[in-house]
A and B are shown apart, each in its own frame.
Chain A
Amino acid sequence: MLQLRDGRFNPELKAVVVEASLALARLDADRLEELALSCQALNRDLSAWSGQERAEMARESRELTGEMAIFERVVEATRANLDVMSRLRQLHDGQREYGGSPRLRTSRRGPWGPTGDSDGNH
């Protein structure tokens, strides 16, 4: 996919976008970070490209609309999921079972340890 040609990246943009969508669906953060670095390098390199290479990139870009639309939607869905999870995280501070009774204490304290405020010592 991302190949070096004459010391320069020669990516199939479509493959990059498709892989990014799949990696995001799988929450493969490592792969996404690799792809981000690759894209940064590609972006830096773009100004040095020849006319033919630019034209090829333009052609690929024109064919990429559908894949980018999918990627954008997956990013949007991830944003929504992240919002939900963030709210959940806040709620978890209190209890995990919203519909049932408050979660019972899961303290790992041993039976011999000093007792705290709730133990009736104060």
Chain B
Amino acid sequence: MGTISSAFHLISGALNADQAALSIVANNVANANTTGYTEEKPNWQENSPVCINGVYNGTGVTETGATSVRDRVLLERLDQQQQLAAASTSRLSALNTIQALFMPDSGSASATAGDIGSDITSFFNSFSSLEANPTNNAMRQEVLSAATTLAGDISNAADGLNAQRMAVDQEAAGVIPQVNALTGAIAQLNAQIQSTSPDGDAGVLEDQRQQDLSQLSQLIGVNQISTENNGLSITTTSGQTLVSEGSNNPITSGMVNGVTHFFVGTTDITGQLASAGGSLGGYLTARDQDIPGVLASLDQLSYGIATAVNAQNNAGIDLNGIGGTGVNPLNPPLNIFNQPAAVAGSAAAMTVTMADPNRIAAAGPAGGAGDNSNAATLAGLSNSATVNGKSPTDFYSNFVTMLGAAVAEVQTENTAQNASVTQLQNQNNSLSAVNLNDEAAAMQQLERSYQAASQVFTILNTIMTSALNLGVQTAVT
């Protein structure tokens, strides 16, 4: 090869390479504000060296296409954090609605549920009033009235919880068409990427796939597995395949025991999805754990009150001089509430069955018409361990506190997870988006922020500890 012609060849090749690189840079600038666009960098490939007069010379470079500056590990971490954040967001939304049911005077249609605490107090106080005047009809009516209010509010709360459970079930079912649309789109993109760019970054197609993955991560918990030829398989976190390269397995749904269950093929994956993350995971956690847990507590409360009150009323003598089943098993029962056969479902079914106030057994088994000993015992049930080892008031108070703590816990998780997502998005933007920050600067920012925040946390902890100790010693009233 002649020297001059080689030189011209080098010049020509370099100009072509620069021109191609320039177009990539121009594309980056043009897409600077495009959501999900990943910066591309030109790839340079050295040409084979040539021998001129016995000396090997390089022949410059050729631009061989563009590689997007993406980082799949970082993106996967971001997707995982989004799954957790989305799960806690949807769960928090459901928990807030549940908690609102138990807020006194909330003004909602189910506001009465929030009055259960005062209802319990009023109900047992009505026995105290009856104790003072055991033959008074108004006092007896007041007992039944207070019982009706308490039973109505508890069953309203249970109805509200069941309605909320169905609403969450609908939300969960509504996620599936979106999931299937996204897995279908990802499978299509896989096929395109594998056919057009099996050995390198597929640029815009990979951007689209990443955006779909990001959306999918907000809906359900998934694992990503890179496959040959730039492909991507997606499974649920428990390993059910949703996307395998160019094909997807849609999730189907069907009703099982009154709620929506989810299937891949014939496998029921509902339980797996509940713990997997994404908004679906949050909805299913609320539907299958949180709401049933609250309902179970309400059932225990209603079962405990109804069983204890009925048993005690049956142990006395009513105004007609007739004893309950505790006095004579052959007598008709003197139940104030319908007697639940089992704990489960007792809250929703709680009603007052006694219509005649004269059947309230204020008198003890040995007392006469004016005796109040059984009314006193009935009033005393308010302080007896009749509900899971606690008094009704203590049990309800503890239940409301636990619910509040659960909401606060999920709120804390949600705030922290969203903060983590924000951080990772910042990092990813620094790396992938078109801007002047480079990776090292982004990393330094993360390290500095962490160190400063750790310092703030440690000092604040010290201050709080000192302040609390000092506050105890020098408390000012």
Contact = CB atoms under 8 A, between A and B. Distances in A.
Interface of A: 13, 16-17, 20-29, 32-33, 35-36, 39-40, 42-43, 46, 49, 51-52, 54-55, 57-62, 64, 66, 68-82, 84-89, 91-92, 96-101, 103-107, 109-113, 115, 118-121
Chain B CB within 10 Å, residue with most, of A22, A96, A106: A96
Contacts of B196: none
5 contacts: A27-B445, A33-B448, A43-B463, A70-B412, A115-B58
Interface of B: 10-11, 13-14, 41-46, 48-49, 56-61, 64, 67, 69-74, 77, 81, 199-201, 226, 230, 232, 408, 412-413, 415-420, 422-424, 426-427, 439, 443, 445-450, 452-457, 459-464, 466-468, 470-472, 474-476
A55 B467 CA distance: 7
Given A92-B439, A97-B67, A120-B58, 10 more contacts: A32-B449, A39-B460, A49-B470, A57-B463, A62-B468, A77-B419, A81-B77, A86-B443, A89-B439, A111-B13
A45 to B, nearest CB: 10
Contacts of B476: 51-52, 55
A78 B446 CA distance: 8
A10 to B, nearest CB: 13
A88 B73 CA distance: 7
A107 B81 CA distance: 35
Contacts of B56: 115, 119-121
B463 A46 contact: yes
B72 A97 contact: yes
B467 A57 contact: yes
B475 to A, nearest CB: 6
Given A101-B200, A111-B61, A60 B467 contact: yes
Contacts, number: 239
B70 A97 contact: yes
B226 A75 contact: no
B83 to A, nearest CB: 14
Given A58-B472, A81-B427, A121-B56, A24 B463 contact: no
B74 A61 contact: no
Contacts of A75: 450, 453-454, 457
Given A21-B415, A32-B452, A54-B474, A64 B464 contact: yes
Contacts of A109: 61
A98 B61 CA distance: 24
Contacts of A120: 48-49, 56, 58
A17, A29, A76 pick with most chain B CB within 10 angstroms: A29
Contact of A74 (B61, B226, B420, B455): B420
